[in-house]
Amino acid sequence: MNINFESTIGYEISKRGYEYYKNNLVSDVSKEEFGYSAKVMGSKVYNVSVKLAENIFLGGSCTCPYNETGDYCKHIAALLYYLNEHEIDPLKNIIDEIDIKDLKGFLYNILNKNENLMDDFRINFSNHFPKLDKNIYVRKIYNDIENCCDYHGFISYGNVDDYEQAMLKYIYEASNLISTKDYETALIIISTILNSIPETAIDDSDGSTGLISEQCLELLGEILEENDNNLIKDEILEYILDDLSTLHLYNNSIDLFPLLEYYLDDDAYKETIKKSLEDALEKTKDKEYFFGRKKYVKLLIDLYIEDNEIDKVDSLLEKYSMDSEVCMMLIDKLLDENKIDKAINILKNKITDDIYESRTYAERLEQIYYDNNMVKEYKELLYEELYKYKKYDMEIYKKIKNLYTSVDWIK
C-alpha cells in the first residue's frame, strides 16, 4: 500500500510508531469492512484499528490512554507502517498455497457450470479464444437484458444495477477488442447495445441508459480515431446517417451527430453527408420544432460555403425558418447583409397570438428597433410586450420608463 499519514498523525509520533513497527510489535493484523485492525504491544497489548478508503487514511482508534485524548498515537502509526509494507490479503495467500494442478481443475469445472463466469473469463483472456459469431453477441446481449426484466418485460429500479453491469461487461469486451484491432466485432457489440436501448422498458431514474450510451459513443470515437480501414469507417458513417434520418436513437437522447466530425475533413464523405442531412431535414419539415434542426442546418451551411454553393444558404434558412432557432440564423444573416427591412418583416409576421412562441421574436425585433434608433416602433413594441408577451416584466417596465423625462413619466 501507499498510505500518506505522517502529516496527519505528526512526524514525531510517526517516528516513534515506525520504531514499534520495526521491532515487530504489530501482530494479528486482519482486514475489516472499512479498514484494518491489529494488536500492538506497548506497556501492554493495545487493540488498534484504522479506517481507509482508496489507500487514504480516514482515521483510527486505539485502546491506549494517549488515544483517549483524541490525538492519534504511535500504535496507530505502527499499524499504518505495517500496512504500507505488507500485502494483507488472506485469499491471495490461500491461492498461492494451492497446487496449480488442483487450481486448474477447479477453474475448469466451475467455468463449465457458470455461463456468467465463463463470459468474464473469455473477456479477460479474449486473445486465447476464437471470435464469437455476430448472431451470438446479439443473442447474448438481448438474453442478458431479458434476464433483468420482470414478467411484464420491464426492468424495475431494483434490477437496474444488474442491467448496467451486464451492459458494461460487453462494453469492456468491446474495448478489449478495439485494443487488439478487432474493430468489426467491437462495432457489432456497440451497435447492438445502442439499438437495444430504445427497445428496453426500464426505470431509468438513475440515468443508466445515459451512462451506457455515453460509453458506447466514446468507443465509436475511439474506433474512428485509431482506424484507417475505410470499410469500417463507411459502416459507422452509414450507422450515423441512418439514425440522423430515422431518429431511432436520437429520440432516446443518444446523439450520434458529433461523430460526423471524424468525417468532415475527408472530401470523399462530404457529398454523402450533405445528401443525408438534406433528406433528414426534409423528413422533419412538418414538425414546427425539431431539437436537432439547428445543428443540421448549421453544418449544411458550412458545407455549402466550403463548396461555394452560396445560393443554397438563403433557401435553406428560409425553408426551415418555422424553427425559431433557424429563423434567428436567418435574421443574423439578413442583418449582416444590412437587409434590415426584410428582417423586420419576417419577425413581425412571426408574432402571433401564441404568447410563448411570440416572445422570442418580439425580443429580437425590440433589439433591432433599438439598435436602429426606431424610437416610435421600439416604444410601441415595449408596451405590447409589457401587456401581452412578457406581462408586467420589470425589465420591460424600466425600458419604457427610460423613454420619458421625469416630468412626463409622472404624468
The torsion angles phi and psi of 10, rounded to 5 degrees, stand at: 105, 135
Question: What does residue 41 show for φ and ψ, rounded to 5 degrees?
Answer: -80, 125
The 10s digit of each residue's pLDDT in 289-348 is 777 889 999 999 999 999 899 889 999 999 999 889 999 999 999 999 999 999 999 999
- Residue spans of the domains in the chain: they are 6-93, 98-130, 136-256
| Per-residue pLDDT, 89 | 63
* Residue 244 exposed, middle or buried by CB count within 10 Å (0-12, 13-18, 19+): buried
State the Cα–Cα distance between residues 257 and 221, nearest whole angstrom: 12
pTM for the whole thing? 0.64
Of 242, 143, 156, 223, residue with least CA distance to 183: 223
Give 88's pLDDT tier (boundaries 50, 70, 90): low
* Res 31 pLDDT > 90: no
The share of the chain scoring above pLDDT 70, in percent, equals 99
* pLDDT above 90 for 131: no
Q: What is the mean pLDDT of residues 11-28?
A: 92
* Per-residue pLDDT tens over the stretch 236-247: 999 999 998 888
Cα atoms found within 13 Å of the Cα of residue 220, Cβ hemisphere only: 31
Question: Does 229 score more than 80 pLDDT?
Answer: no
So what's the pLDDT on residue 334? 95
CB burial of 310-332 (b: ≥16 within 10 Å; e: otherwise) equals eebbeebbeebbbbbbbbbbbbe
What is residue 19's predicted lDDT score, i.e. its pLDDT?
92
If one compares 24 and 285, the residue with the highest pLDDT of the two is: 24
Residue 10 has pLDDT above 80, yes or no: yes
Order the strands of the 45-53 sheet from edge to edge: 26-31, 35-41, 45-53, 56-62
pLDDT at site 392: 83
Q: What is the pLDDT of residues 90-111, one digit of tens each?
A: 677 678 788 999 999 999 999 9
**How many residues are recorded in the chain?**
411
Note the pLDDT tens digit of each residue in 371-409.
Answer: 999 999 999 999 999 998 888 899 999 999 999 999 999
Q: Is the pLDDT of residue 227 over 80?
A: no
Give the pLDDT band of residue 50 (cuts 50, 70, 90): very high
- Average pLDDT over the chain, rounded to an integer: 90
β-strand partners of 37? 30, 49
Cα-trace Rg, the chain? 33
Q: Where are the alpha helices (DSSP H) in 201-266?
A: 208-226, 230-246
For the stretch 167-218, pLDDT in tens is 999 999 899 889 888 899 999 999 999 999 999 999 999 889 999 999 999 9
